[in-house]
Structure 1
């Protein structure tokens, strides 16, 4: 490997520095090359340039995931997002160091959980997950249907809100000025809609002669998921801000409705508390409109996968 290249870039929030250094140390001891800002950036150095250069020269990013790393003021999301849209040669590896909800775009990616384990167990979980693919077994695997064993319990299951609504029903909230983006999103969601995995609803489903306000309220009252399409026009809509968003917020808080904001264009998303309380699909600093087509199509494809995975849990 080129001496200027790294196997792993460690992306973390400052409160998780101890975890980041522990992870970096395990990887170095195992023979990987690692870039960690706490070890590489000297006093007086331009940290933004150093991080940008390291991201470019690294093959994979270890995204240290915790509630602290997902705050609206963190740069960690931008770091792993750069890898996510950087092409097939770039990998994002989420490592969970505390119970937290994994960002939407990372859910289709296998995650490594190292919290709640002993040090040796955590080291094994980390390194075994990064090892090369195992060889084919030399003996025939045991028939899995011979005996039903205990199901492995999800350690975070008890902390999740009760699923009271029908999660298959997905409400899409948008400004009509963003109708083109809605159409592109519907294209990527169509396969799982056609297969009956989800039931999509937007105001395009309101038929002539129907009471549009009543139809919107009915859809809001049964939706188990919602995808707000965020733009300046979206936030300028009185109907959306005064009626749709408060109902979605209440449904999320009391009934477990999943809210997945998709950032289309620059807006005041981060300064709108009722929205910024929810982790967006893509970082507000990387709206779809600022990305190349191949990049935003990948985000929409990953969103579709994440929704399918959410419903399979």
Structure 2
């Protein structure tokens, strides 16, 4: 995972395609280059080869966590485990609530953002902040102290 600093691979489960396309669109609007299977991979492509290329050419993988994402038999496991094995940047966002036991223990310490339940503009801002990472303020924070009363 040593690709362009602005190239993001979107990892999602098939049932979450609408979320993946919304995420991909919003990241493109924010200036990121996006790799999304639904948009870029077609009939006859080798899925494993395309996934390997996407992981190698991306600076980060945004993983759309949902119960479907962790369902047995999904290729999503291969995607997130490859990112961890390569010590790449995995950016988890929750698109549905998870129950206890849905999240594999190795992913439990990861910081994530929740998109479900937010207004669209707030979800888009949260998504972009999650991918860009925290930023220091551009102006001085207000002084928290003051004269003693």
Question: 1:50 & 1:64 partners in 2: Cα distance?
Answer: 19
1:124 aligned partner: 125
- 1:216-235 equivalences under 5 Å are none
Post-superposition Cα deviations, 1:159-188, rounded to whole Å, max 9, x if no partner, equal: xxxxxxxxxxxxxxxxxxxxxxxxxxxxxx
Q: State TM-score, norm by structure 2.
A: 0.83
1:51 aligned partner: 51
Measured after TM superposition, the shift of residue 25 of structure 1 is 0.6
Measured after TM superposition, the shift of residue 104 of structure 1 is 1.7
- Of the three residues 124, 141, 144, the one matched with 1:142 is 144
Measured after TM superposition, the shift of residue 97 of structure 1 is 0.5
Q: Which has the higher helix share?
A: 1
The answer to whether residue 72 in structure 2 is matched with residue 108 in structure 1 is: no
Question: 2:40 & 2:143 partners in 1: Cα distance?
Answer: 46
1:75 aligned partner: 75
Say what the alpha-carbon RMSD is for the aligned residues: 2.1
Residue 24 of structure 2 aligns to a residue whose secondary structure is helix
Question: 2:95 & 2:141 partners in 1: Cα distance?
Answer: 36
The structure with the larger Rg is 1
1:7 aligned partner: 7
1:266 aligned partner: none
- 1:193-232 equivalences under 5 Å are none
Post-superposition Cα deviations, 1:279-309, rounded to whole Å, max 9, x if no partner, equal: xxxxxxxxxxxxxxxxxxxxxxxxxxxxxxx
- Name the CA shift for 1:82/1:141 in 2 (closer, same or farther; >3 Å): farther
Is contact 2:61–2:89 with CA below 8 Å preserved after alignment? yes
| Structure 1 runs, 4 residues or longer, greater than 4 Å off | none
Is contact 2:91–2:130 with CA below 8 Å preserved after alignment? no
The answer to whether residue 91 in structure 2 is matched with residue 93 in structure 1 is: yes
Q: Structure 1 stretches of 5 or more lacking a match? A: 144-313
Q: Give the length in aligned residue pairs.
A: 139
Post-superposition Cα deviations, 1:125-170, rounded to whole Å, max 9, x if no partner, equal: 1112233532255135537xxxxxxxxxxxxxxxxxxxxxxxxxxx
Measured after TM superposition, the shift of residue 86 of structure 1 is 0.8
Is contact 1:94–1:106 with CA below 8 Å preserved after alignment? no
Select the structure with the greater relative contact order (CA < 8 A; seq sep ≥ 6).
2
